[in-house]
Structure 1
């Protein structure tokens, strides 16, 4: 169970890092740039910890899928990015895919 917690931490760190990229303005602003570097370092560290018991394909699918959805939501809330109905459909499909992998697939460790 702690490996899933590590994966959750990796996702949150990646979302913070990716969301800070825009604010860093090409790494010209110190605080957002530090968030980017620190966030990605922490994300990859915690992702590596999850791979001790979660298959890499499952871990990466969950990490990238939820990361895409969460970064899109942060961009919508924080940076004013517009999300149309098709974008919402796409995000729902990504979440559905992650759920299928984790709840129904025999690939995932249950």
Structure 2
């Protein structure tokens, strides 16, 4: 059985160290079996460029969970298969920075 966790993140500014949104699809044997989406309160400012690109601003994420709060919900998905992203180096980098900034211990290496 093949299981892939496909994900994409959006960021609020050029530091690319926090998420403002995340989408996740679980693909098993070539079929999407689960979808998940959430806005994320990055607890950082939004650059005009990022807002123009994504349509996400401080108002959009008002009331959204922070990454630390969201991680409890998405970690089981992230730990359940090989991670896949269109621009994996970027998305994995944002994930790594969020884990670091929120002092969340996870795997030392992750297949992607």
| Pair in the same fold by TM > 0.5 | no
Larger radius of gyration: 1
* Greater fraction strand: 2
* Greater fraction helix: 1
**TM-score, with structure 1 as normaliser:** 0.29
**TM-score, with structure 2 as normaliser:** 0.29
